Structure 1
Amino acid sequence: MNQDLDSFRMVISDDAKRGGDMHTRWLERSQQIIDTMAARNVTVSKEDVALSNSARIYALTGAESGDAIVELTQCLPQVQHQQELREVRDALSREDHPQHDALQAKLDGMSQHQKMAYARTLPPAEAAPQREYNASERAELIRQNARLPYKMKIDHARKHGLL
């Protein structure tokens, strides 16, 4: 399933670069589904909508194939779990997030085995797009990173693509 989603994302992003119909159909259908689910007091993201086979088929071919709303409703526990995992990953990755300290304290209280089990439940983080820096900018970022406290070094390096 994960390979299907990755392939779908790649096809849609390639189509968007060419200004194709698939990207337009995906944006329209996913927003329609998000609005419909919001009317039912269920919050979903485009990532969640991509779990629906019928939404992906419509985006790729333009052909109706099943009901995406029904599919999402059936996999709602998985959708909610994915949302929670994204929120946790976001809170842990940003030190200015309101829940960062609480989650960090929770992790600090776990044994190494518990941390590994918890980490296995989290999906892999996506790499941030890297900005191209010239040599002097890169050197300045490295100097800035050296002056930061230890806990902030990794966040700073990830933010600026130094890792």
Structure 2
Amino acid sequence: MNEDVESFRLLLKDSPDLKDRWDSLVTLYTAEAAALGVTVSASDLMTVNAIRLHCLTGDGTIGDWKQQASESIPAFREKAEAVRAGQILADTADERHDAVAAEFDRLSPQEKMRRAREMGQTLPGPLGGERKPMTDEERAKALRDMDRLPPGMKLARYRELFG
């Protein structure tokens, strides 16, 4: 593998056109990885055969770069494992569900939140993600109702309603 990467580096060094193509592909694949929640460097991407072949041939359909990245880049592997664990947790019919749920239950609350974020879970938005416009009367009633709440809950309720 290292020989492949080293010879690819030599090709990049010798060919300005290839270097330009590589730079644009690094931008493309770094953005795709970021969309998946993974931060990668150009040297990380250089270890992925499909990306090197894309650069050399111009054909981006050779190989599954995400699968290869999960095999060669630790950050991708960790993200893939977290997503798989999230899928197992979501599917109660899966025979691995109970084991993964038991492992998850042993974590501290902070660790559970971190792992949930890695799995791609987010907290639900206000009112199920869709906020309907309030009339003036509804807004006034909501503000009056908030007066009865304890101080710590007022701000949270205000953000939930008026965001």
So what's the TM-score if we normalise by structure 1? 0.42
So what's the TM-score if we normalise by structure 2? 0.42
State the structure with more CA Rg.
2
